Amino acid sequence: MKGAEALLRALEQEGVEVIFGHPGGAIMPTYDALYDSKIRHILVRHEQGGVHAATAYARASGRVGVVMATSGPGALNLVTGLADALMDSTPVVAITGNVPRALIGTDAFQEADVTGVTMPITKHNYLVQDVNEIPRVVKEAFHIAATGRPGPVLIDIPKDVQLADFTGDFDGALDLPGYKPTTKGHPKQIERALDALEKAEKPILMVGGGAQHAHAELLAFAERTGLPVITTLMGLGAFPGNHPLWLGMPGMHGTVAANRAIHHADVILAIGLRFDDRVTGKVSRFAPHAHTIIHVDIDPAEIGKVVRTHIPIVGDARLVLKEMLKGAKPLRLAGWWRELEEWRTRYPLRWKPRSHLQSQEVIRAFYEATGGNAIVTTGVGQHQMFAAQFFPVTRPRSFITSGGLGTMGVGLPFAIGAKIARPEELVIDFDGDGSFQMTLQELATVVKYKLDVKVVILNNGYLGMVRQWQDLFHAKRYSEVYLADSNPDFARLAEAYGIKGVRVERKEDLRKGVEAVLNADGPVVAEFKVYHEEGVFPMIPAGGAAEDMILDHPEEREREEVEA
Amino acid sequence: MRHVISVLVQDHPRVLNRITSLFARRGFNLESLAVGTTHVPGLSRISLVVSGDDHTLEQVEKQLNRLIEVLKVTDHSEPHVERELCLVKVHVAGVEERLAVKDIQEAFRARVVDVAQRSLILELTGDSKKVDSFIEALRPYGILEVMRTGAVAMSRGERTLKVREKREAV
């Protein structure tokens, strides 16, 4: 048996069913072995598409996503996707070929120090020097990727190691003396947390991506206690977006109710989130009335990193919630809820209707037509925030977006990965004209595997989010954000790939357009020409606090006042 | 504040790389780093000196602990022994200077490890402050080269850098 075959055997042993990837010189022995393997391979058109697809596969399924690439350029094309997976704590294993051992360090053809390059953007990485180490390394890589705080792990294997004769075995044990994640929360701390909640007058429950797998326990805990729930962008779907206890998303483009709740809260129970600056705004002004912050996270390094934590609980969100549920009592929060209810009803998420077609109404129309029953993926930008605001997902693992890294171009490859993980689901990618063009070559992957994904491009002819910032903070100096003069006809572009193209320009055609997308048998790329000057609101400017929230574009407000 | 930290690591290739790159990308200032093997095969011990406030130090420890190959991290806030080895090549113009340098050498209990016509190499171990003073004392004679290892540290008394109950202390 060659090293390459041992590698595939080890992957099969880990239960790998699908690998996203792109072949090349230094990984060819493994692709040769793949020819005889049961593992399904999805050929992408760019390695970045492969790693994003593997990421979404992991996020949608709860399993480890696997991507494969050749040495040098192939491996380096994974960099953005690995960083994205690390920031959003996603279990991905990347396997890369490398030049033969004898050539390492000689600037050989297609050589790059991939373990060196990916060190800061992976949870761990390996350069396999001995063919017999392959099964152990694979076992460790999957264990590290999937346990503790999940994250990407890279295995770099020189070509001659893939070709070497394997004489080892597959039953080796894990040998990771320095890796022992704490999963069970400390009982004393849990007790203190419950006690603090019981004494609280204005408590809130904040939930991040680390609670996606704890949705059942979370729902039970929230319902038992009656705590108001706020979910971050990564936490969307971990708690049902149509539940009466849900206040929405916090932070820069969060709801008024969620941000005011944080601002006035006296006790915050934060689970599986890392207090990103897009959530906290200016940290010194974050939650000024909170005398007790309880932080549950599996990664001890996250606790106290950004905000001061009074009750730290290191552990897995699901196990900690399970324990907390045992001692949880209904809390008396009627007065607090009256306040929250007032903010919620007075400041719902809304948009100012215009004569032109608008992103928000397109997303809302899809929400209504599907009953929210879909997996949503997004690119990065205004459309991403609109999707988060107006497509409230009700089930976990159903809103797949790039939170931490904010990677433009993830929408389409995310949709591919999600569809392969959950083929029975409707998958909609809400994308921007800018975002979509960063990875649109993956339409070929959609065609090749006949993946029924619906790509909805909200085309405003701009890099909309940058434009919005230039509008508000750079005196309308729209530096290099105009795309409309050079955008393709997206519907025709889709047709060139053999995919159904839909184009909607007028408000009155919205419903018809939505139906055309949803009723199509197979993939669709739909372009909705939306209002070009739309802004995402509410908004807390970067470095601001909840009190600095802007509800509408300042000029629009002035215009309204003049008209009145 | 200056902190001396001991880190017990698995002796794998690139582990030092991981540690230094972690310091670089998190913006922690690493003042010195000294590494050597231990009496347990496969385990190395690193002494590093960092400065920062409590929050920085807490993050340094937590981020180091996140590394898969790191087994144990200790901040030597308790009584500990700290030593640094330093080699100084100093210019000696004539007999007079040679005698003067010899006085300094004796005062610091340093050793002469190389003698040439117009230079000496002196070896000194001690804590970092002592090494600093030694170098300052020699400076007037013309220092040609200095090599310092950076601090190494160990807790006093029975305390050891333990990994698990079963594993032998190192």
Instruction: Report whether B155 contacts B76 (CB < 8 A).
Output: yes
Tell me how far apart the alpha carbons of residues B7 and B10 are, in angstroms, rounded to a whole number: 10
Most B CBs within 10 Å, among A179, A274, A314, to test the B interface: A179
Q: Which residue of B has its CA nearest to A182?
A: B66
CA A561 to chain centre: 39
Is B104's pLDDT higher than 90?
yes
Q: Does A301 touch chain B (CB under 8 A)?
A: yes
- Residue whose pair of structure tokens reads 């001991």 in the numeric block: B6
How many residues can be counted in chain A? Answer: 564
Q: Does A115 touch chain B (CB under 8 A)?
A: yes
Instruction: Report whether A461 contacts A483 (CB < 8 A).
Output: yes
The predicted pLDDT at position B167 comes to: 45
Most B CBs within 10 Å, among A119, A137, A153, to test the B interface: A119
- Neighbouring residues of A416: CB distance < 8 A, sequence distance ≥ 6: A42, A44, A49, A53, A56, A442, A445, A446, A451, A453
Which position among A139, A159, A454, A529 bears the catalytic label?
A159
Q: Does A119 touch chain B (CB under 8 A)?
A: yes
Is B165's pLDDT higher than 60?
no
Q: Does A488 touch chain B (CB under 8 A)?
A: no
Taking an 8 Å cut-off on Cβ atoms, the answer to whether B71 and A178 are in contact is yes
The predicted pLDDT at position B143 comes to: 97
| Residues facing residue A269 across a β-bridge | A205, A294
Taking an 8 Å cut-off on Cβ atoms, the answer to whether A119 and B14 are in contact is yes
Q: Work out whether strand A65-69 and strand A92-98 pair parallel, antiparallel, or are unpaired.
A: parallel
Taking an 8 Å cut-off on Cβ atoms, the answer to whether A116 and B59 are in contact is no
The predicted pLDDT at position A320 comes to: 98
Closest CB from A119, A127, A299 relative to B21: A119
Strand stretches in A214-330, DSSP E: 229-231, 246-248, 267-271, 292-297, 311-314
In this prediction, the residues of chain A whose per-residue pLDDT falls under 50 are none
The predicted pLDDT at position A554 comes to: 84
The predicted pLDDT at position A387 comes to: 98
| Cα of B75 to nearest chain A Cα, Å | 16
Q: Which residue of A has its CA nearest to B61?
A: A301
Q: What value does the mean pLDDT take over residues B101-123?
A: 97
Write out chain A residues lying below 8 Å of B18, CB-based.
Answer: 119
Q: Which residue of B has its CA nearest to A127?
A: B13
Q: pLDDT of A346-364, one tens digit each?
A: 999 999 999 999 999 999 9
The predicted pLDDT at position B58 comes to: 94
Task: Examine the residue annotation and report whether A159 is marked as an active-site residue of this protein.
Answer: yes
Residue B166 pLDDT class (50, 70, 90 cuts): very low
Q: What value does the mean pLDDT take over residues B15-19?
A: 95
Is B169's pLDDT higher than 80?
no
Q: pLDDT of A354-398, one tens digit each?
A: 999 999 999 999 999 999 999 999 999 999 999 999 999 999 999
